[in-house]
């Protein structure tokens, strides 16, 4: 195996491979034809990514025998809704895709989630592949088969589980990411460190992970390997997979309260800082960790606080999927590299958030 070419197998049924290497978009047709015989491929992308990567993706697919149509939607979380989803479904139908054809999600988290959901719904399910171009999609959202759109009541409230047929992560796309987008993905990778891997966390603490830096492909591979293990054991989030929602209860609330102007990773970073402070204040943490989580986020250009009040955030969080009747499951860090699930009465959420903001 070449040093800069890494593959991770995700052992779901069916299983698939995540390939991480520079220059993969130029080879995507050749690599995909090993898992999907050449067919019609609908490339779903956004207006930021299309000018950068659509042509080379299309050319590679066409050279490998795929016939390609493409649908670019306006970039941004504001597009991740039923209206854009319906346009994508109509586009698939107008282009007469059949069950032997496929969807390719070329872009970041919004594109992957929405194209994946369109693939899950169209003709009751067709194959799709993930071609992540953002760090957030590379380390988290392109793997694991969660697909969704937002509803006005909250984030990702309409969705389905559908594993992709393959994930091709072209690391060259990450070298030119604007700093805000790089930081957004770093938050999800730092989350993986807090959950499972102190060494990964330390790499971010020490400022080793930067656009184009030497450890970046290994960091992505480590995040994907951690996530793959969880998804293999609990694909449909009945238990262990809930851990991957660290920072997301408050994070989703911040996204919602801000009208989705705070990017997902930034919101999750703030959510992690809040729950870490709460864990320390309420005696749930087994070591002092809030200070180093906040410092790590800040040194990776991420915010650690919000102007929204605990009341506003608690109210927004109550429409979250992590609520179940009168209880909500929070992901609580005990040590760097180890977190637990804590079920709480919904009525206690506000005081936990307050402890995390004032503690
Ligand atoms: N992003 C959390 C998950 O895939 O479960």
Task: Check whether 358 has a pLDDT greater than 90.
Answer: no
C-alpha to C-alpha distance for 127 and 14, rounded to whole angstroms: 11
Catalytic position from the list 80, 155, 191, 227: 227
Percent helix, percent strand, percent coil in the chain, to nearest 5: 50, 20, 30
Which of 10, 112, 113, 144 should be mutated for ligand 1, with most atoms under 8 A from CB?
144
Task: Check whether 43 has a pLDDT greater than 70.
Answer: yes
Q: How far is the CA of 233 from the centre of ligand 1 (A)?
A: 13
Catalytic position from the list 77, 188, 255, 280: 188
Asked if 245 is an active-site residue, the reply is yes
Mean per-residue pLDDT for 200-216? 92
Condensed to tens digits (0 to 9), the pLDDT of residues 81-127 reads: 999 999 999 999 999 999 999 999 999 999 999 999 999 999 999 99
Residue with tokens 């050449």: 38
Mean per-residue pLDDT for 224-233? 98
C-alpha to C-alpha distance for 91 and 83, rounded to whole angstroms: 12
Atom of ligand 1 nearest to the CA of 143: 4
Which pair of structure tokens corresponds to residue 151? Answer: 């509803």
Q: How far is the CA of 141 from the centre of ligand 1 (A)?
A: 6
Task: Check whether 324 has a pLDDT greater than 90.
Answer: no
* pLDDT value of position 13: 92
Asked if 237 is an active-site residue, the reply is yes
Catalytic position from the list 77, 235, 237, 280: 237
Task: Check whether 1 has a pLDDT greater than 60.
Answer: no
**Please, which pLDDT band fits residue 321 given cuts at 50, 70 and 90?**
low
C-alpha to C-alpha distance for 184 and 267, rounded to whole angstroms: 9
* pLDDT value of position 211: 87
DSSP-derived letter for residue 217 is H
pTM score, whole prediction: 0.94
Asked if 241 is an active-site residue, the reply is yes
Q: How far is the CA of 101 from the centre of ligand 1 (A)?
A: 26
Which pair of structure tokens corresponds to residue 232? Answer: 């293999």
Asked if 264 is an active-site residue, the reply is yes
Task: Check whether 202 has a pLDDT greater than 90.
Answer: yes
Which residues partner with 69 through β-bridges? Answer: 42
**Please, which pLDDT band fits residue 213 given cuts at 50, 70 and 90?**
confident
Q: How far is the CA of 331 from the centre of ligand 1 (A)?
A: 13
Residue nearest to atom 2 of ligand 1 (CA): 244
Q: What percent of the chain has pLDDT over 70?
A: 98
* pLDDT value of position 98: 98
158, with CB counted inside 10 A (0-12, 13-18, 19+), is middle
- Provide residues with CB under 6 Å of ligand 1: 140-141, 144, 146, 241, 244
Q: How far is the CA of 154 from the centre of ligand 1 (A)?
A: 16
* pLDDT value of position 45: 98
Atom of ligand 1 nearest to the CA of 141: 1
C-alpha to C-alpha distance for 187 and 203, rounded to whole angstroms: 13
Which of 10, 141, 145, 162 should be mutated for ligand 1, with most atoms under 8 A from CB?
141
Catalytic position from the list 146, 222, 266, 350: 146
- Mean pLDDT across the chain, nearest whole number? 95
Mean per-residue pLDDT for 260-285? 97
Mean per-residue pLDDT for 131-145? 98
Q: How far is the CA of 65 from the centre of ligand 1 (A)?
A: 33
C-alpha to C-alpha distance for 58 and 353, rounded to whole angstroms: 47
Query: Cα dihedral sign for 199, 203, 254, 134?
Result: negative
Residue nearest to atom 5 of ligand 1 (CA): 244
Q: Closest Cα partner for 209 from 304, 139, 111, 141?
A: 139
Sequence-distant (6+) residues with CB within 8 A of 12 are 145, 163, 231, 232, 235
Residue with tokens 């999609």: 137
C-alpha to C-alpha distance for 149 and 80, rounded to whole angstroms: 5
Residue nearest to atom 3 of ligand 1 (CA): 244
251-272 burial, b at 16+ Cβ within 10 Å, e below that, comes to: bbbbbbbbebebbbbbbbbbbb
Asked if 248 is an active-site residue, the reply is yes
Sequence-distant (6+) residues with CB within 8 A of 9 are 15, 16, 17, 18, 228
Asked if 252 is an active-site residue, the reply is yes
Atom of ligand 1 nearest to the CA of 188: 1
Condensed to tens digits (0 to 9), the pLDDT of residues 338-351 reads: 999 999 999 999 99
Distance of CA 285 to the CA centre of its chain: 26
Query: Cα dihedral sign for 239, 243, 244, 245?
Result: positive
């Amino acid at each position: 195996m070449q040093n800069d070419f890494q593959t991770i197998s995700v052992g779901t049924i069916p299983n698939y491979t995540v390939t991480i290497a520079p220059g993969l978009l130029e080879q995507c047709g050749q690599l995909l034809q090993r898992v999907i015989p050449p067919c019609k491929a609908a490339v779903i992308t956004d207006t930021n990514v299309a000018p950068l990567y659509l042509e080379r993706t299309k050319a590679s697919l066409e050279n490998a025998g795929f016939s390609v149509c493409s649908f670019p939607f306006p970039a941004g979380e504001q597009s991740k809704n039923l209206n854009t989803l319906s346009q994508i479904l109509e586009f698939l139908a107008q282009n007469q895709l059949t069950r032997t054809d496929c969807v390719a999600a070329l872009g970041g988290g919004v594109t992957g989630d929405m194209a994946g959901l369109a693939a899950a719904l169209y003709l009751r399910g067709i194959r799709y592949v993930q071609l992540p171009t953002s760090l957030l999609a590379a380390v988290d959202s392109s793997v694991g088969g969660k697909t969704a759109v937002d509803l006005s009541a909250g984030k990702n409230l309409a969705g389905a589980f559908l594993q992709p047929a393959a994930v091709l992560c072209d690391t060259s796309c990450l070298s030119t990411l604007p700093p805000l987008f790089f930081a957004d993905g770093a938050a999800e990778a730092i989350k993986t460190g807090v959950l499972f891997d102190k060494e990964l966390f330390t790499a971010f603490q020490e400022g080793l992970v930067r656009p184009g830096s030497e450890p970046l492909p290994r960091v992505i591979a480590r995040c994907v390997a951690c996530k793959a293990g969880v998804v293999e054991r609990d694909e449909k989030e009945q238990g262990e997979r809930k851990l991957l929602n660290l920072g997301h209860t408050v994070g989703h609330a911040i996204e919602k309260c801000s009208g989705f102007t705070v990017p997902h990773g930034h919101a999750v970073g703030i959510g992690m800082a809040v729950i870490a402070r709460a864990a320390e204040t309420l005696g749930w943490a087994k070591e002092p960790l809030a200070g180093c989580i906040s410092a790590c986020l800040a040194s990776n250009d991420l915010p650690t606080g919000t102007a929204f009040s605990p009341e506003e955030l608690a109210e927004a969080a109550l429409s979250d999927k992590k609520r179940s009747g009168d209880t909500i499951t929070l992901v609580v860090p005990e040590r760097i590299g180890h977190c637990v699930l804590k079920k709480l009465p919904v009525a206690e959420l506000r005081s936990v958030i307050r402890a995390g903001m004032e503690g």
